[in-house]
Chain A
């Protein structure tokens, strides 16, 4: 095709534009305004050589060694979004930095428009969330016969994560090397993102919303079925009154009834701490301002709204410990049961004391500026200490098959449970991290799960205590493992244990005893 004269100049213009845009991008990325971090791929620079001492020869200059290379191959830059805008479900395949670490209490639109946006967006979003979750999991709601949580809720059988179509069994998948699983995109346990990460914050289960409609969000709902979440309301056990069992009598502890339930059982310090755990305070998105995700102004959220009865109702949010918001990891609510035994708290952060646990700015997504704008929530040190006083008497549920050293009593355990215990302490290597009275080592471990899929490395996560683990589905910090069977399959893959089907069933049977 022969170009005419009036085509050549515009084509030349396009070429110049292309070069200009490319050059602009090279300058722009890594700048303080860009969300694209500049990652170093150039070799290190050797330090300048020290001047030789008198009478010595100058040593040969050192050549720089290799530098740690960024692990961003195959990842995309986080999309640009305003608060409330849709975000990808596979955020684990993205990376980047934020324009700022600091938030703003201002909505990107008028509140009436905010309501209208979510009125239109939520039905479509939740339909796509359901489709996405159904593509990853088979939520058949089939219970394990005879297995119940401490309050009587049936425990779901698994694994419910879907195997890739071209893999015939979990054992066949586990036989593949990590590199092949990654290359063929076969890993069934990729992370779970918040369904609406641009706003994120706390998402409560349907059972909680039924009892507390004031926490129903205008923008997003829980994505996991109720059957795969902890029971509501859960029992509450006290280390100081083991003889009483569940001291709540099956009720949800509230500001209205806590005094009646606990007066005469707790010390005044513990009572004050419990009251504080029950008192709602404003949060980033549950408050009385327009910067909220409820239709009506909200009194806020109390600690026990997620840690209901000192346990968990399965509500999730984002860990507040990172920026940008797109890069924050989804975290489930961990139980408070047995916190007295933990030297580190939280699933993704190393919170070192229960006082710190009570003080940490979870409510404002780790942004004290937002607290100042939306607050107030300022607990004095003596109050957080008293919250910890109550926290430290929340006990695990009973485990009648365990002896004082945490071993199964042979006369009470089944053959399968005993085989599971032997595997736990042997071939399956569980005991390497899950040891002691709470079955936890109080360390954080980097499982390097990104070996199995193209995704951003998530870093170390805290070992979860396994005492009472049957009561706290879903598992892992983001709840990507809806059942104990999924958790066993996950670790069988990630730790490359090569367990047989029977061995995995035995492990699940054992975990139900803890």
Chain B
């Protein structure tokens, strides 16, 4: 929603004061960008939630997730002391939980770091398993590599969501100060 300041004409927003004739101190002449209305980023939130839940839920079922090998081989290389089966199960829980956090509209201040950590994990095969993710590194990814590189769009979507929410929350506070 537009905030109260935006609703007023530019002149009306300036309070009258004795120092009005004085030149304003030098500052950033650009106005602060208005936050994106939250209802415009709602589809991003829903899409992220459904994709996370869907692809995570697939991992609960043996032999159903196309990302099984990439996920388990990456986790093995991280030497977390987990067997492949347990690792995949935990990843499924993790991804479904992120999906639910999105849909339940838990604060992005909490969800975004978790989301980013997961996204960082999805990028690891590019570095740990280049033999599987690149036909020729770095500009000819395999199908799996393309699948991973497209996560940049997902990260951008998450960032947009984070900014929209945090700015919307910050705006009333700015007005109060």
Contacts and interface: CB of A to CB of B under 8 A. Distances in A.
Interface of A: 1, 4, 6-7, 9-11, 13-14, 17-18, 21-22, 24-25, 28-29, 34-36, 76-77, 79-82, 85-86, 88, 90, 96, 108-110, 113-114, 116-117, 121, 124, 128
Given A13-B50, A82-B69, A88-B83, A7 B104 contact: yes
Nearest to B66: A80
Given A10-B50, A21-B54, A86 B76 contact: yes
A61 B76 CA distance: 56
A80 B83 contact: no
A74 to B, nearest CB: 11
A80 B50 contact: no
Contact of B73 (A21, A25, A86): A86
Nearest to A108: B132
B97 to A, nearest CB: 12
Contacts of A14: 49-50, 53, 99-100, 103
B61 to A, nearest CB: 4
Contact of A17 (B53, B61, B131): B53
A124 B46 contact: no
B79 A124 contact: yes
Nearest to A116: B131
A34 B63 CA distance: 7
Contacts of A21: 54, 57-58, 61, 64
Contacts of A4: 105
A22 B64 CA distance: 10
Contacts of B49: 10, 14
Nearest to B39: A6
Nearest to B59: A21
Contacts of B53: 14, 17-18
Contact of B42 (A6, A25, A108): A6
A407 B164 CA distance: 89
B72 A17 contact: no
Contacts, number: 88
Nearest to A127: B79
A77 B62 contact: yes
The 9 A-B pairs at the shortest CB distance, nearest first, are namely A77-B62, A113-B131, A117-B131, A10-B103, A25-B61, A80-B69, A76-B85, A35-B63, A14-B53
A27 to B, nearest CB: 11
Contacts of B84: 79, 88
Given A24-B64, A35-B63, A86-B73, A79 B99 contact: no
A109 B54 contact: no
Contacts of B130: 113, 116
Nearest to B87: A79
A113 B129 CA distance: 10
B69 A79 contact: yes
Contact of A18 (B57, B103, B134): B57
Nearest to A15: B53
Q: Could you say which of A17, A114, A116 has the most chain B C-beta atoms within 10 Å of its C-beta?
A: A17
Contacts of A128: 79
Given A11-B103, A14-B53, A81 B69 contact: yes
Given A14-B100, A86-B73, A113-B130, 13 more contacts: A7-B105, A11-B103, A22-B61, A25-B61, A28-B64, A79-B85, A80-B63, A80-B68, A80-B69, A85-B69, A114-B131, A117-B129, A121-B77
Given A21-B58, A114-B131, A117-B131, A79 B64 contact: no
B62 A36 contact: yes
B63 A29 contact: yes
Contacts of B61: 21-22, 25
Contacts of B77: 86, 121, 124
Contacts of A85: 69, 73
8 contacts: A6-B42, A18-B53, A76-B62, A76-B85, A80-B63, A80-B69, A88-B85, A109-B131
A86 B70 CA distance: 11
Q: Could you say which of B63, B76, B85, B99 has the most chain A C-beta atoms within 10 Å of its C-beta?
A: B63
B72 A79 contact: yes
B135 interface: yes
Nearest to B83: A88
Contacts of B83: 88, 90
Interface string B154-171: 000000000000000000
A109 B134 CA distance: 9
B168 to A, nearest CB: 15
Contacts of A86: 73, 76-77
